[in-house]
Amino acid sequence: MSSDHFSVDTEKMRAAGRELEAKGVELQNIHAQWFRLMNQARSAMGSDNNGRAMARQLGDNSNKTGVAVKSFALAVRRGGQALQGAADAFVATEDGATQAAKNLGKMTGAAGSVGDVSTGNTSGSSTNGSSSDSKPKTTGKH
């Protein structure tokens, strides 16, 4: 592949995005399970001073871990969504460029019947001011 070309396999990009988004959902489920398990562990530590101290320490650490997992899960999901969006944008850009090239080809092929747009002279228009309509008339080809 030469350096002046860029291509993307948008189907593979979308598939990777879907997979990444699914992993983000799995991480969110792990996050929910994490807090359920930590709550069970804290309640099993007892109600004496040592039990409460251990539960507090476990709670602080589990909260920090839980926040990190939740944040990571969201980032993974959004990354997957972004990949899918990038694939869609690439296809839309490519389709737009293809259509513009087709339109340019049609205009170039019909240049003899359209006139010189740079001077305002288009076929069917009056350049001597005798037309009752100030708008140039076109041939109907677009």
Q: Of 9-13, 54-58, 128-132, where does the model show the most confidence?
A: 9-13
For residues 38-53, average pLDDT: 85
Domain ranges of the chain: 10-96
pLDDT in tens, 55-82: 888 888 888 888 999 999 999 999 999 9
The overall average pLDDT reported for the chain is 78
Which CATH number is associated with domain 10-96?
Answer: 1.10.287.1060
Judged against a pLDDT cut of 50, whether residue 22 lies above it is answered with yes
Q: What is the pLDDT of residue 127?
A: 43
* pLDDT band, very low/low/confident/very high, at 107 (cuts 50, 70, 90): confident
Single-letter code of the amino acid located at 132? S
Judged against a pLDDT cut of 50, whether residue 131 lies above it is answered with no
Q: What is the pLDDT of residue 2?
A: 56
For residues 21 and 78, give the distance between their C-alpha atoms in angstroms, rounded to a whole number.
7
| 47 within 8 A of 126, measured Cβ to Cβ | no
Return the DSSP state at 117: G
Return the DSSP state at 120: T
User: 116 is written with which tokens?
Assistant: 């010189």
Q: What is the pLDDT of residue 117?
A: 47
What are 116's strand-pairing partners? Answer: 121
Q: Of 2-11, 42-51, 71-80, 128-137, where does the model show the most confidence?
A: 71-80
Q: How many CB atoms lie within 10 A of CB 21?
A: 19
For residues 44-49, average pLDDT: 85
> In terms of pLDDT, which residue wins out, 35 or 84?
84
